[in-house]
């Protein structure tokens, strides 16, 4: 039996401070940059290295992913697709269902509300609904089914990592 792991990561906190910027071009704010540095270390310690990464092409998702590339993500496995910009849960799920069977760990990097809806759709039975996947929050799922069957049944397990757990000397990654 092959275990498949799904990593769902929302972009880091971004800014509306540049009035001329379109939503697509928004940059990370100070908290987003600080969380990016912190969470990159946490993710490298506790998350598996992805075989494939699907990422929205927006600036804030690309900038978030840049924090993860040195220690967790091989840039050669990253795919940007226009359909992932502000994608809904159904779009993300279609990408998951189409993942090749040789992929063992799939990472998604995108936006809300689509990612929160996806997490709630895939969560194990009995797990509470997630109100909001926070900026630079991550949901780590595992399941023993092939990608083509994800969504038909709930995942077998999920862990949620939130940046606030690790700010100002919070939890260590082993205690998340």
**End-to-end alpha-carbon separation of the chain, Å?**
27
pTM, two decimal places: 0.94
Q: Closest Cα partner for 10 from 37, 47, 39, 34? A: 39
| pLDDT over threshold 70, residue 15 | yes
Question: Rounded to the nearest 10 degrees, how much is the dihedral formed by the CA atoms of 109, 71, 39, 52?
Answer: 20
Mean pLDDT, rounded, for 91-111:
97
- CATH 3.40.50.1240 applies to domain 4-146: yes
Show the tokens assigned to 22: 């379109």
Q: What is the pLDDT of residues 16-69, one digit of tens each?
A: 887 778 999 999 999 999 999 999 999 999 999 999 999 999 999 999 999 999
Q: What is the pLDDT of residues 159-175, one digit of tens each?
A: 999 999 987 666 655 43
pLDDT at residue 48 in the model:
97
Domain ranges for the chain, please list them: 4-146
């Amino acid at each position: 039996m092959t275990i498949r792991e799904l990593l769902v990561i929302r972009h880091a906190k971004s800014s509306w401070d540049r009035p001329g910027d379109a939503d697509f071009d928004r940059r990370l704010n100070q908290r987003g940059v600080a969380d990016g540095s912190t969470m990159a270390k946490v993710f490298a310690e506790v998350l598996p290295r992805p075989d494939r990464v699907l990422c929205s092409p927006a600036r804030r998702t690309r900038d978030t992913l840049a924090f993860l590339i040195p220690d967790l993500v091989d840039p050669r496995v990253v795919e940007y697709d226009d359909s992932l910009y502000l994608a809904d849960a159904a779009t993300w799920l279609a990408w998951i269902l189409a993942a090749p069977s040789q992929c063992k760990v799939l990472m998604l990097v995108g936006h809300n509300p689509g990612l929160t809806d996806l997490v709630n759709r895939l969560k194990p039975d009995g797990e509470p609904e997630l109100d909001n996947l926070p900026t630079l929050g991550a949901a780590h799922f595992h399941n023993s089914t092939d990608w083509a069957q994800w969504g038909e049944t709930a995942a077998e397990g999920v862990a949620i990592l939130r940046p606030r757990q690790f700010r100002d000397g919070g939890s260590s990654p082993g205690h998340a």
